[in-house]
Amino acid sequence: MNIGSRIAQLRDDRHWTQEQTAAKLGISRAALSHYEKNRREPDSETLKKFADLYQVSVDFLVGRTLHPQTVLSDDVRNFAEHLELSDDEILEKFNLSIDGRKLTVEETKRFIAFVRAERMMN
């Protein structure tokens, strides 16, 4: 399944018209139609808008995964986007915990590596 087909299917699943969807994305209905019919490919910013609107990953939209729901929560994404400390500063300044248990140094380093890898994919 190609990008256009996925975008059209996601819109149809929600019973939205092209006009409604285009308005939500801030693009023209004609542009949306071109994307859905694979006459044009959306740029990276527009792909992000589609992913956010449909609550799916960009990887799902471009066909790299069959799992649409592999996206970060808004809280985790916001935290990752504003994180500018070095690994050592994070370990020194924060006691990160998940499920009430403090992360070990190795777990924290893997968490940081995961966030960096996720950013590179988007």
Q: Model confidence over 36-48: pLDDT tens digits?
A: 999 999 999 999 9
**Is residue 7 pLDDT above 80, yes or no?**
yes
Residue 116, pLDDT score: 83
Q: Note whether residue 33 is domain-resident.
A: yes
Query: In whole angstroms, what is the distance from residue 114 CA to residue 97 CA?
Result: 16
| pLDDT per position as a tens digit, 108-117 | 888 878 888 8
Q: Note whether residue 51 is domain-resident.
A: yes
Whole-model pTM: value is: 0.57
The total number of structural domains that make up the chain: 2
Q: Note whether residue 68 is domain-resident.
A: no
DSSP 8-class letter at 39? S
| 67, β-bridge pairs | none
Measure CA 50 to chain center. 9
Residue type (1 letter), 28: S
Number of other CB atoms surrounding residue 54 within 10 Å = 22
Question: Which of 61, 82, 99 is at the close of a domain?
Answer: 61
Domain housing 97: 74-121
